[in-house]
């Protein structure tokens, strides 16, 4: 492997891995808190913290390593069954994980944290262990406290030939050692083969190092944690006459027996000179073995590279559509091979594009996984009993969507727990179970992902919502609103029903921010409220933000794209199918159901469109919430895949418009927002009705 000069790259990988570890640790701790944890969970938690500590040593992150060590020590006691994972202890461990995360974030940004919180949590961790352990831990991890004076270590370090290919660089290890004290390095190059037998990607050097330091042996060994599986390591205190027998085999044996020895050797009890060391057996073999096996199946890819790929494929889809459009204008029967080829190209383009999108898809689990903790903490804060039920964590959606879901979901769950779920006594009085339930679910539905957050609480108090909205001047005092319209008021900017500003959900940011977040992702949010029984929020989001199947339509001189997923059918109504209904505008009988008609030209102010629906076309549309209406357009121009281009990147969001795209002729066409149009259509009908009554 080349390019080892770039330490940054490894730091990056280390921090990425740490983020995963932190998540694993947290998930494990939460399992522990629920009492559903087995020995393997505790092991996984321990391994996670241990790996973070090991890597931290390599990069010289001493504050991090010191803290991780305290954390790990307590975990080891839990693992050995000497400490019971009580609720209080698990809470402490969760806090410790947070501190670890904060320390990592500091290290990543190169910041000096103040360390106050870390010191406090570390003290708590030591307190858990009892006085004897606590003293020992303090001695061992605080360099200044190492009262027994510097020792000279002799370290023999013989990498296995393949060590470099695992991304390890001896130089960094030595530098990390040099942080501990004066270091002498002696390189043994006897094993280097002659040039014609030399494999430049293998390592044939071994080293003998002499280090004078006040650090305990365990810390010295830690430096080599990341390479434990890929080297033979022998650490001895020079002042002692004999090297301890537990250390690995002599360096020159290791080369052919790469897979035996060192991991096991490390698990032996450590130097007897350090009685306070809790001697955690190193889970090196299992952990590193697992990582090695995974390495063959997945790679990390820089997100920028992926985005570039997605953009390129997007441009390719447009170009393909352009070529196809040109080819369609050839006289029939001309160039059949060309047309065949183009068809093939179209199919491959589509497959390519789906594959690229699939690369970006992620299960929503990564966001959902944060919610149990939120619910747990909030239950305590609010003094409510709440259980969280999650479904469909495996549902996949574009990475961008996943990432942007965290804030809205957090807020909605807070909202449900704060405003929705009642206090246990109130619930009992209402004939419900004392513990409330918040349900979070995800599923794919007609080419979109639908996420629901529901609770079995008291529902939205419409009277209170309306009063509040009137008080705040959001609606006129004499407004006549339907129940659904009152429910919608919670999405108004500046609306918050909390009587007092609580630090849970009444922070002035409310459901309007949630709605804005969701809208920015091309999604929609609706609320379904049953007073006394609960509230259900439904989010509907596109699976990918990059492409969609669309139907190109024309009205007047303008072309638009309708998302194919919303189209039920297209029909031309007969005069007998149409009826005028006051307050509803024109409705049409379609398949035994009356649907409201919305003339696109009137909604968007387009001139020159066919005003008579019986001479135009009605596209029957269904929104994600299941509502149907008929959009009156002049004609259908054809179905095609379109690349979704943001309109608000350089301009702004517009009502009734979801985004824009570029058609085969290079011109821009707007992609219609079906639910938005439906709302505009209702508004139009209401205004028209009001005018009729005024004139009557």
397 versus 659: smaller Cβ distance to another protein: 659
Smallest distance from another protein to CB 421, Å = 24
Smallest distance from another protein to CB 123, Å = 45
131 versus 605: smaller Cβ distance to another protein: 605
Q: Which of 677, 622, 678 is nearest to 654 (CA)?
A: 677
Question: In which element (H, E) is residue 258 found?
Answer: none
Smallest distance from another protein to CB 372, Å = 29
Binding site for another protein (CB under 8 A): 315, 318, 474, 484-485, 488, 491-493, 515, 524-526, 558-559, 603-606, 645-647, 649-657, 660, 662, 666-670, 675-676, 679-680, 683
Smallest distance from another protein to CB 528, Å = 12
93 versus 552: smaller Cβ distance to another protein: 552
Residue 683 in tokens: 């508004």
Integer CA distances (angstroms), 183 to 178, 252, 263, 405, 625, in order: 5, 22, 25, 50, 69
Smallest distance from another protein to CB 522, Å = 14
Spacing of C-alpha 164 from chain mean position: 32
Q: Which of 556, 667, 674, 552 is nearest to 622 (CA)?
A: 674
Integer CA distances (angstroms), 390 to 185, 410, 568, in order: 56, 14, 31
Residue 670 in tokens: 């707007």
48 versus 681: smaller Cβ distance to another protein: 681
98 versus 325: smaller Cβ distance to another protein: 325
Do residues 165 and 201 touch, judged by C-beta distance below 8 A? Answer: yes
Residue 658: is it exposed, middle or buried by C-beta count within 10 angstroms (0-12/13-18/19+)? buried
Place of tokens 């149990």: 372
Q: Which of 414, 425, 431, 421 is nearest to 459 (CA)?
A: 421
Smallest distance from another protein to CB 547, Å = 14
245 versus 476: smaller Cβ distance to another protein: 476
SS3 for 194-257 is: CHHHCCCCCCCCEEEEEEEECCCHHHHHHCCHHHHHHEEEEEEECCCCCCCCCCCCCCCCHHHC
Quote the strand ranges of 143-197, DSSP E: 151-159, 183-188
Which residues on neighbouring strands pair with residue 540, listed in sequence order? 450, 524
149 versus 476: smaller Cβ distance to another protein: 476
Smallest distance from another protein to CB 586, Å = 20
263 versus 676: smaller Cβ distance to another protein: 676
Smallest distance from another protein to CB 602, Å = 11
286 versus 493: smaller Cβ distance to another protein: 493
Smallest distance from another protein to CB 460, Å = 14
Smallest distance from another protein to CB 608, Å = 12
Smallest distance from another protein to CB 284, Å = 49
Q: Which of 273, 293, 185, 282 is nearest to 225 (CA)?
A: 282
Residue 347: is it exposed, middle or buried by C-beta count within 10 angstroms (0-12/13-18/19+)? exposed
Smallest distance from another protein to CB 471, Å = 16
Smallest distance from another protein to CB 298, Å = 31
- Residues listed for the chain: 696
2 versus 651: smaller Cβ distance to another protein: 651
228 versus 514: smaller Cβ distance to another protein: 514
79 versus 515: smaller Cβ distance to another protein: 515
The percent helix, strand, coil of the chain (3-state, each to 5) is 45, 20, 35
96 versus 670: smaller Cβ distance to another protein: 670
Give the three-class secondary structure for 280.
coil
Q: What angle do CA 159, 160, 163 make, to 5 degrees?
A: 80
306 versus 606: smaller Cβ distance to another protein: 606
Residue 416 in tokens: 């449900």
Question: In which element (H, E) is residue 669 found?
Answer: strand 668-672
Smallest distance from another protein to CB 332, Å = 30
C-alpha dihedral, 329 to 335 to 339 to 341, nearest 10°: -140
Q: Give the count of beta carbons closer than 10 Å to the beta carbon of residue 352.
A: 15
Q: Phi/psi of residue 517, each to 5°? A: -55, -45
What is the DSSP track for 26-59? HHHHHHHHHT---HHHHHHHHHHHHHHHHHHHHT
């Amino acid at each position: 492997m080349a390019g080892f000069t770039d330490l940054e790259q490894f730091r990056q990988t280390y921090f990425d891995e740490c983020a995963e570890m932190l998540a694993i640790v947290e998930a494990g701790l939460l399992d522990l808190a629920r009492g559903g944890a087995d020995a393997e969970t505790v092991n996984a938690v321990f391994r996670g913290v241990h790996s973070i500590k090991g890597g931290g040593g390599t990069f010289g992150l001493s504050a991090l390593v010191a803290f991780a060590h305290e954390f790990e020590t307590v975990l080891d006691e839990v693992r050995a069954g000497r400490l019971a994972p009580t609720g209080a202890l698990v809470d402490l461990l969760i806090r410790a994980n947070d501190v670890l995360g904060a320390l990592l974030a500091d290290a990543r940004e190169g910041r000096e944290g103040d360390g106050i919180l870390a010191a406090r949590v570390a003290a708590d961790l030591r307190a858990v262990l009892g006085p004897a352990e606590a003293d020992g831990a303090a001695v061992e991890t605080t360099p200044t406290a190492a009262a027994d004076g510097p020792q000279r270590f002799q370290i023999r370090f013989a990498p296995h030939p393949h060590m470099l290919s695992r991304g390890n660089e001896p130089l960094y290890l030595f530098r990390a050692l040099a942080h501990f004290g004066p270091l002498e390095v002696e390189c043994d190059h006897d094993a280097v083969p002659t040039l014609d037998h030399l494999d430049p990607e293998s390592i044939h050097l071994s080293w003998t190092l002499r280090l004078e330091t006040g650090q305990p042996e365990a810390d010295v060994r830690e430096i080599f944690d990341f390479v434990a599986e890929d080297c033979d390591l022998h650490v001895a205190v020079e002042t002692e006459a004999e090297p301890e027998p537990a250390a690995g085999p002599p360096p020159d044996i290791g080369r052919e027996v790469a897979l035996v020895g060192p991991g096991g050797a490390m698990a032996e009890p450590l130097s007897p000179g350090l009685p306070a060391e809790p001697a955690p057996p190193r889970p090196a073999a299992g952990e590193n073995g697992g990582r090695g096996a995974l390495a063959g199946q997945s790679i990390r890819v820089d997100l920028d590279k992926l985005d570039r790929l997605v953009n390129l494929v997007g441009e390719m889809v447009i170009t393909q559509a352009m070529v196809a459009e040109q080819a369609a204008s050839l006289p029939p029967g001309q160039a059949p091979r060309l047309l065949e080829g183009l068809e093939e190209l179209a199919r491959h383009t589509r497959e390519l594009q789906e594959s690229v999108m699939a690369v970006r898809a992620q299960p929503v689990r990564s966001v959902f996984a944060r919610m149990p903790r939120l619910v747990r903490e909030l239950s305590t804060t609010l003094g409510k009993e709440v259980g969280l039920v999650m479904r469909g964590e495996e549902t996949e959606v574009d990475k961008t969507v996943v990432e942007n879901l965290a804030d809205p979901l957090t807020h909605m769950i807070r909202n449900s727990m704060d405003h929705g779920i009642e206090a246990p006594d109130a619930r009992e009085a209402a004939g419900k179970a004392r513990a409330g339930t918040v349900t979070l679910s995800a599923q794919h539905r007609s080419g979109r992902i639908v996420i629901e957050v529901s609770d079995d609480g008291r529902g939205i108090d419409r009277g209170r919502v309306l009063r509040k909205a009137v008080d705040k001047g959001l609606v006129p005092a004499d407004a006549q609103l339907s129940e659904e319209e009152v429910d919608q008021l919670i999405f108004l900017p500046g609306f918050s029903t909390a009587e007092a500003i609580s630090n849970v959900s009444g922070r002035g940011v409310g459901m309007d921010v949630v709605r804005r977040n969701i809208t920015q992702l091309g999604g929609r949010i609706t609320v379904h409220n049953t007073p006394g029984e609960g509230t259900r929020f439904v989010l509907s989001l596109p699976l990918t933000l990059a492409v969609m199947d669309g139907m190109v339509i024309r009205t007047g001189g303008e072309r638009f794209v309708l998302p194919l997923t919303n189209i039920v059918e297209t029909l031309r109504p007969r005069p007998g199918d149409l009826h005028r209904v006051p307050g509803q505008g024109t409705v049409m009988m379609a398949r035994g159901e009356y649907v409201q008609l919305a003339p696109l030209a009137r909604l968007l102010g387009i001139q020159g469109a066919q005003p008579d629906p019986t001479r135009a076309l009605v596209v029957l549309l269904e929104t994600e919430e299941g509502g149907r209406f008929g959009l009156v357009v002049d004609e259908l121009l054809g179905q095609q895949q379109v690349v979704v281009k943001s309109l608000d990147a350089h301009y702004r969001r517009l009502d009734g418009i979801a985004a824009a795209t570029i058609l085969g002729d290079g011109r821009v066409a707007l992609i219609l927002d079906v639910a938005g149009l439906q709302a505009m259509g209702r508004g139009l009908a209401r205004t028209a009705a009001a005018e009729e009554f005024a004139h009557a």
